[in-house]
A and B are shown apart, each in its own frame.
Chain A
Amino acid sequence: MNIIACVKQVPDTETLIKVKTDGSGIEEGGIKWVMNPYDEFGVEEALRLKEKNGGEVTIVTLGPARAMESIRTALAMGADKGIHIDDASLNNGDAYTTAAALAAAIKTVPYDLIFCGQRAIDDDSGQVGSILAELLDLPQVTLVTKVEVAGSSVKAMRAIEGAQLVIESPLPCVLTAQKGLNEPRYASLPGIMKAKKKPVDIKDAAALGVTASDKAKVVKFVPPPARPPGKIIAGDDPTAKAAQLAKLLREEAKVL
């Protein structure tokens, strides 16, 4: 079973994000880059399926040179090879551009199943998996928390508001990973050593025949709207403080 896991490198969740003064982007200095947490779930699930069914796991990443670190991390976890789409014209592109580039790269290798994260925690757009599925003419199941492969089909649990759905799809298909799917493993030391020798194919836009489309563009980045400073309810008596809070919520904030 050949599995693709799409992996994006993103700022660590602890990172403080600072907007450039001219609003053209964010300050990249000092950012610690990591594999998108939802993509870790995808990589882990791909590895588990490989361990059960055999085959290969291929990591596909679009991003600048530093993104290679995330590919190596996935290889150290146990993936077999990588494709790194590295072309300045495609970086920070819109979801359609990214999906088109990933689709072009994925078409060059055999696959039975594709994992994406349900969203990348930088742009938080949650679009690439579905667009990729459409461009490859594949079915999709998004927000999956459980995956079972049987023969040529997959059963996936999908979590939506107030319900869990069990959805069956023929292979190949695109699944987007939601938290709860699994606990991703850490790369072992031997894994890290081995990863250095695993093959990573580097491709540019021309090789893939894709161009940036600019259908959706962030024209300006702004810091979050400031919240007015809050009130700390003073006193030693919890009962009195609770009473005052209830009153403020009703009369001042008008939320009760």
Chain B
Amino acid sequence: MAKGVWIVAEQREGAFRKISFELASTARKLADELGDEVCAVLVGSGVEGIAGELGKYGVDKVYVADDAIFEPYTTDAHAAAVAKIVKEKDPAILLLGASAQGKDLSSRLVGKLATGMATDCTDLRLDGGKLVAFRPMYAGKCFGEIMISSFPQMASLRPNVFSAVENAKAGAVEKFDAGIDAGQLKTKVLEVQKETSGKVDLTEANLIVSGGRGMQGPDGYSVLEELAGVLGATVGASRAAVDAGWRPQTDQVGQTGKVVSPNLYVACGISGAIQHLAGMSSSKVIVAINKDSEAPIFSKADYGIVDDLFKVVPELAKECKKLLG
């Protein structure tokens, strides 16, 4: 009988991604309701030392596969390792992050474990001991409640939506042998080109300042960069700005860009096309600055200013600087 709430923790270069703690806390809540254990799987190279940190967020036990073969991440190696321990221990629920890596890994695991998964969930609950996942569909134009009838019941969680709460448990560490030989791995990472800006990725950012065609050109973004600097925010863009070549593709928010859910999303010179709204409407607080009072973005905004952004944004930066002192 499948038992236990499991997570796959995500780390990069020996440091946990924030989503790992969000996963642990969410799993803890479900497990408490079920009277069950929370276990984590941690796969990487030189990661045994950090495994215990997961205990702080409610993990009872961490299964660690620590081997040079797991760095950098490849689907082949990580999916094989997680599938092995999951098949052996038979958890009831398995949660991963809906990050680029988490989506890649979780969907491959759905294949390996022949089970069902709800992707990019924004809420989870239990109904008669079974997992019910709540998730946006059609780019957030509607939501679906998903029930998984096979085990493990899998869900990937949208980053930044579930809170990470400290709730110390044992966090006991147990190593396992994933039994992978290098010969069976087919893909190879030839190069890792890191973005040197050092900015927090949009999908993980708490604060986002975003600009669209209203920025009038690449130079217009300097006012947003300045505000972002004051707030510690990440700068995003609409597709119009990306397609015009003003900002890189990685900055695009929306249906064919990134789906973000920061605490604060400031949309400047963005009209609020349905495809843009799809990417940011799960933000907690939305601010719109646009000179057109009829722009659809105002229908989603918690706060709006109808004015020229080039007059408002620099002042906003100044005011925020004063407040944050």
Contacts and interface: CB of A to CB of B under 8 A. Distances in A.
Nearest to B300: A227
A151 B4 CA distance: 46
Nearest to B315: A242
A150 interface: no
B274 A238 contact: no
Contacts of B195: 162-164
Contacts, number: 272
A2 to B, nearest CB: 19
Contacts of B318: 242
B307 A241 contact: yes
Given A127-B110, A256-B320, A165 B285 contact: no
A256 B303 CA distance: 14
Residues of A contacting B: mostly? mixed
Given A155-B190, A219-B147, A242-B319, A230 B142 contact: no
Contact of B144 (A221, A243, A250): A221
A217 B75 contact: no
A97 to B, nearest CB: 10
A interface, how many residues as a size bin?
A: 35 or more
B148 A216 contact: yes
Contacts of B119: 124-127
Given A170-B186, A230-B298, A245-B316, A19 B142 contact: yes
Contact of B146 (A216, A242, A256): A216
28 contacts: A13-B255, A13-B278, A15-B138, A26-B142, A94-B116, A96-B111, A124-B120, A124-B135, A126-B119, A135-B111, A140-B187, A142-B103, A159-B100, A162-B195, A179-B256, A179-B257, A216-B117, A219-B145, A224-B136, A227-B302, A230-B288, A232-B304, A238-B312, A241-B307, A246-B322, A253-B264, A255-B285, A256-B264
Given A16-B141, A134-B112, 8 more contacts: A15-B138, A19-B142, A95-B107, A161-B204, A168-B190, A215-B150, A230-B304, A232-B304
